[in-house]
Amino acid sequence: MPENPDSANPKKKGGFDLGGLFGKKKETATSGANYGNISTQLGEISRRLRILESRNTELNRKIELIEKNMLGERKRFNTELKTVDSDVLELKKEVNDMKEKTEMMAGEFKNLAAKEDIEAVRKYVELWEPINFVTREEVEEIVKEMVENK
């Protein structure tokens, strides 16, 4: 008998098979069962792949719909932006027209008489009392009457 039970089989050390990843596999009677297991796994993988493909297709449809909606919204936004721009331009023109008219009115106001000037004219009118003035026709009639009365 060998001293060490592990020394009889050099592949085994401590009771474990050291064949590793590249070691030769032993063919057993379970190979047929493995093929059935592999077939089941392939079926499961195929089912999962179809599910993922359908999810991918659905996501692609949703992305297309979102892109289409975004393009529509972008067109609508651009149209509204152009409208707002034209409105702003029109408002700027109106403001400039108002500014010009205001400046023109300010120039006209400078040509108007001052309050002090109006007061001076009012005082002269009150002093002269133009209501008591006589017209030329009235003077001629008065003179005519005086000549006739003489």
Write the pLDDT tens digit of every residue in 71-108: 999 999 999 999 999 999 999 999 999 999 999 999 99
Q: What is the pLDDT of residue 112?
A: 87
d(CA 146, CA 149): 5
d(CA 114, CA 123): 15
d(CA 138, CA 141): 5
Helix (H) or strand (E) holding 16: strand 16-17
pLDDT at 12 over 70: no
